[in-house]
Structure 1
Amino acid sequence: MATRVLIVDDDRDTADFLKLLVEPRGDLARTASDAAQAREILRSWRPEVALMDLMLPDADGIDLLKDFKEASPETQVIMVTGYGSVPKAVEAMKAGAFSFIEKPVDADVLLVMLDKATEKLQLSAENKRLKEELRDHTSFANIVARSDKMRQLFHLIKSVAPTDASVLIHGENGTGKELVASAIHEHSKRKKGPFIKINCAALPSELIESELFGHKRGAFTGAVSDKTGLMELADGGSLLLDEIGEMPASLQVKLLRVLQDREFRPVGGNRVIQPNFRLICATNINLDAALGEGKLREDLYFRINTVTLAIPALRDRTEDILLLAEHFLDRFSGQHQRNIRSIKPEAAKALLRYRWPGNVRELEHVIERAVIVAEGTDITLDDLPPTIRDAERLPNQTGFVIPPHHTLEEIEKLAILQTLERTRGNKRKAASILGVYRPTLYNKLKKYNLLETQERAPRAQASAPPAPGPNSGAALGNPPAAPAPPAAPTFKPPVPEV
C-alpha cells in the first residue's frame, strides 16, 4: 500500500530530488516550501511520513515538528539537517522525530530510513488493532477489567440484567458503582427507556423528596411551578438511587410504600402516578451495620436487596491496574492532545505498589495528571504524585498482626497506633500505608481520642530527661530503675465498623 510522504524544504532543487527518490517506491509524495503550507497539507492530507528541513523561512523546524506530533502523533518525521546542525537534530529526536539525515542527502541511507519508518507505521497499526481486540476481550459495557473477580461480576450482571429484580450494588467510593448500574440498564429489556440517577447524599432531605416524587406549584415555599419527579421520569426505564444508606428515615417509609403499592402522589398533589421502573440502589457503607444502628429500615432493605452485586476494591484486583492505566492514558492523550505513548517500568511498578484508597476514580485522576505534566512521550516515575512514588508494597504494608479476641474498633485503633509509631508520627505516610486519605485518618484519630496523644508525643520527646550523668545513681553503682511498662490501650465498647 502506498505511503503518503510530505517533503518540507524551501530549496526547490532539494525538494524535487527527494521527490524523485520517493515516488519510484510507489509512494505518494507532495512538497511544501514553508511551514504554513506544510500545516495546510497536514490538515487536508494527513501524511504518514514527513521529510522536514530544520531551517525554514517562516518557522523553526522543531516547532513545526511539535505541531505535527500534536496534530498527527502517528506521522513519522525525518529531519533533514545542514552541516553543523547535528545538535539541533538531536534536539528534534527528543521532541519526537523518527530520525534525521544530513545534507547532502545520501539516497541509499534515505531509502533505508523510509523503509524503517514504513515498518514502524505498520507495527503501530497492528499494535492499535491488537489493543482494540484486547479491549473487546477485557471490557464490558465500558468497564475495563480482566481479573477473575471482575469477570465473575460481569457474569452476574449478564444474569440479573434481563430480569426486573431490584439490585443492590455495594462497593467503596470510586469502584464504579454507577458504571455497573448503567451496564445493568444497557443489558436489560428496558435499555430503550431512560436511565435516571440521583445521589441521596448530595441533596438535603426536603429536596430529595421533591426530586423523587415531584411537586405541585405552591406545595411549599419556592415551589413556583409544577415539577415532574424522577420516579415519573424513569417510567419504562431504570432508576438508580446512589448512596441509599444516606436516605432520611422519613423518606425511606415513602419509598417503601411506592415499592409495595407501585403508586405515589407528587408533593402537594392529588393525582396518583403508577410508575413502571426498575430500581437499582448503590452504597459504599455496610448496610448490615446501618440496620443494626437503625439508620436503615429492615423492610426497605429486603425490598431493595433482591440481588446484591459487590464490586471489589482496586487493591484486590491488581491485575487490572495497568490495564486501566493504559486505558486512561489513551483517553487523556487524545483529550489533551498529548503524544504520550506508554508508562515506564518504574512508574508501572509504583502504580502496582500503591493501595488506591480512591480506587479506579483515583487512578483515573492520577493518569490524567501524569499525561498533562509529562515532558517526554512516556509517563515516568517523576510524573506521579509523591504519595504514589513513595508507596510501599501492597502485601502486609503495616506489618500489623491482627490479635485474637478483639473487636473491629480495637483492631482498627491498634493498627493506627502501630502504623503511626512505625512512621514516627508522620500522618501522611501512615495514611498511605493504611490505604486511606489523610482526612479519614484525622477523623479516626479524633474518634479514638488519639489526636492529643499524637500532638503530645513530640513535646514529650523534646522535654525528656537527659541521659544519666556521672553523678547519677547508675554512676554510683546503684542499679538503674526498670522502665515502666507501656500502658495498655484502653478501648471503648465495641461498635462494629467496616
Structure 2
Amino acid sequence: MSTESPAILFVDDDADIQKAARLLAERHGMAMVSAAGPDEAWARLAERTFDVVMLDLNFSRGRTSGEEGFAMLRRLLAADRDAVVIVVTGHSGITVAVEAMRAGASDFVIKPWSNDKLAAALDRAVALRRATLAAGQGAPADDDRLILGEDAAIERLRAMIERVAPTDAAVLVTGPAGSGKSLVARAIHHASRRAGQTLTVLPAGSIEDEAGVTAAIAAARGGTLVIDDVEALAGRLQPVLASMLGEVRTIATSRLDRMSLRDAIDADLLFRLNTVELAIPSLARREGDALVLARHFLDRFAARHGRAARPLTDEAAGWIAAHPWRDDVRGLRQAMERAVLLGEGDAYGIADFTHGESDGGTATASGGDLNLERSERTLVEAALKRHAFNVSRAASELGLTRTALYRRMAKYGL
C-alpha cells in the first residue's frame, strides 16, 4: 500500500462545508483539495490523481434534483471505471443517494454529517481504491482520458463512449487532424473491461509488410488495437488486416469522412472496423468549447511547470473564442502551454498567445496592394500590434465595435 497521504477531491459550492471537511480530513492524515463545481473539478483532476472524490449532487442555487452531480458522476466513471466516489447530499436525501450508488458511487454521506461517519466513509473509500489498484484491476484517472467540453456534440460523444466502451464492438473514430481521435480511443480502452491489458497503437502508414500486421495483432491480443490513420494502410495489406481482426478489440481512426473513407479502404476492412462510428466535430463547430479547453490547459500547464495560475483578460478570452484554431484542439493546447511558459504579467493577454507568429507575409497598406481583403487584414493587424493587442483600443482606432473586430480577427486568423 502507498505510504503517501490519501488525496481527496471534494466538489461542493459551499465554502464553509469545504473548510469543515478539509479540517476533518487533515486530522485523519488525508490531503483534501476543494473544487466549487464541475469545471474547477476537471482542472484539479488534470493536475493530479486522487484516491477519492467526494461529490455534492447540486451546485446551482435552488437546484435539488441532483442532475448536475449525476452528470459529473457519469463522466468520472467514464474516465476511470474504478473511480471511488462518495456522493454528498443534503436536499436530495436518502433516495437520491441510493440512486447514485446504483449509478456507480461507492458510498454516500448526508449533510449535516457526523464527523465519525464521514471519517469512516473516507477510510473505507481510500482502502477500496488502493486495494483495487494493488490488485492490478485499474489505473489512476488520467487527464489524457478526459473528454472536455460543453457543446451538445461533445455531450453526445461522451454518452456514446460510455455505451460502447464496455463492449467489444469495433469502433471507427473520425475527425479533423488535432481534434482528439487518439484521446477518444484511449478513453474507450480505459473504460473497457480490457483496461488492464495492453493498448497497442498501429500507425497504419508505417506498416510495410504482412509481418508488421501480424506483429501488431500479436502485441494487442487480449487488449485493444488502435489503428491510427487507417486510410494510410497500403491497399495490398488491407485484406490481411481484415482477416486478423477477430483476434482483438479494434479502434480505428481516420481524418476522412465516411464517404471518402469508402473510396480509400477495402470494403471488407471498413465493414469490420465500422460497427460503431464516432465523429468528432472540429473545435470551430463546438460552441464555447475553445474557452473551456483554454482555461483547462492553462491550469494544467501552470501546475505542470510550477507557474502561478493567472486569469484571462476579457480581450484574450474573446480572442480565444473567436480564433479559428486551424490545428484544432492540438493547436489550442500548444498555444496555451506556450503562454504559460512565455507569458508575462498578472493576467494572460492576447499577445501571450501570439508568441513567435509571423506577419503572415502580408503587404503593408502603403505598399500599393489594392486587394481589399489583404489591405483590411494589414490594417487590423497593425492596429492590434500598435495597441499590444488591446482589442478595445484597436477597435476604437479602426472605428469598429469590439464584436466587429473579433469577427475580423477570426476571419484573418489574428
Give TM-score scaled by structure 2 length. Answer: 0.54
Deviation at 1:235, TM superposition (A): 1.2
Deviation at 1:335, TM superposition (A): 1.8
Matched, 1:176 2:176: no
Q: Which residue of 2 aligns with 1:236?
A: 222
1:321–1:425 CA distance, 2 compared to 1 (3 A) = closer
Three-state SS of the structure 2 residue aligned to 1:143 is coil
Match for 1:250 among 236, 239, 244?
236
Greater relative contact order structure (CA < 8 Å, 6+ sep): 2
CA distance in 1, matches of 2:337, 2:202: 27
CA distance in 1, matches of 2:349, 2:219: 47
Query: What pairs up with 1:215-234 in 2 under 5 angstroms?
Result: 229-234=215-220
Kept in 1, the 8 Å contact 2:175–2:257? The answer is: no
- Identity across aligned pairs (percent)? 32
Amino acid at match of 1:187: A
Match for 2:162 among 144, 158, 161?
158
Q: Deviations over 1:270-301 (max 9, x none)?
A: xxxxxx31011000113422434xx3112221
CA distance in 1, matches of 2:292, 2:306: 21
Match for 2:340 among 371, 382, 385?
371
Query: What pairs up with 1:318-333 in 2 under 5 angstroms?
Result: 318-333=287-302
Three-state SS of the structure 1 residue aligned to 2:172 is strand
Q: Which residue of 2 aligns with 1:343?
A: 312
1:127–1:388 CA distance, 2 compared to 1 (3 A) = farther
Query: What pairs up with 1:66-215 in 2 under 5 angstroms?
Result: 128-130=35-37, 132-133=40-41, 137=72, 141=79, 142-201=146-205, 203=206, 205-206=207-208, 209-213=210-214
Larger Rg: 1
Q: Deviations over 1:298-357 (max 9, x none)?
A: 222112111100011111113221221111111111222211321111111000011111
Q: Deviations over 1:90-132 (max 9, x none)?
A: xxxxxxxxxxxxxxxxxxxxxxxxxxxx9xxx9xx99745454
Deviation at 1:186, TM superposition (A): 1.5
Q: Which residue of 1 aligns with 2:260?
A: 289
Deviation at 1:232, TM superposition (A): 1.0
Q: Which residue of 1 aligns with 2:365?
A: none
Kept in 1, the 8 Å contact 2:200–2:226? The answer is: yes
Amino acid at match of 1:249: G
Amino acid at match of 2:268: D
Kept in 1, the 8 Å contact 2:204–2:229? The answer is: yes
CA distance in 2, matches of 1:165, 1:368: 36
Three-state SS of the structure 2 residue aligned to 1:144 is coil
CA distance in 2, matches of 1:331, 1:299: 42
CA distance in 1, matches of 2:262, 2:164: 25
Matched, 1:314 2:283: yes
Aligned residues between the structures: 251
Deviation at 1:375, TM superposition (A): 1.4
Amino acid at match of 1:337: G
Three-state SS of the structure 2 residue aligned to 1:379 is coil
Kept in 2, the 8 Å contact 1:350–1:388? The answer is: no
Amino acid at match of 1:237: G
Kept in 2, the 8 Å contact 1:350–1:389? The answer is: no
Amino acid at match of 1:332: F
CA distance in 2, matches of 1:381, 1:156: 36
Kept in 2, the 8 Å contact 1:347–1:381? The answer is: yes
1:436–1:371 CA distance, 2 compared to 1 (3 A) = closer
Give the aligned CA root-mean-square deviation in angstroms. 3.6
Deviation at 1:166, TM superposition (A): 0.8
Q: Which residue of 1 aligns with 2:389?
A: none
CA distance in 1, matches of 2:413, 2:177: 12
Deviation at 1:386, TM superposition (A): 7.2
Q: Deviations over 1:176-216 (max 9, x none)?
A: 11111111111222122111112223x2x426x44331xxx
Q: Which residue of 2 aligns with 1:362?
A: 331
1:421–1:212 CA distance, 2 compared to 1 (3 A) = farther
CA distance in 1, matches of 2:284, 2:165: 27
Kept in 1, the 8 Å contact 2:161–2:188? The answer is: yes
Amino acid at match of 1:235: R
Amino acid at match of 1:315: A
Q: Which residue of 2 aligns with 1:334?
A: 303
Q: Deviations over 1:119-161 (max 9, x none)?
A: xxx9xx9974545446583775222222211111111111111
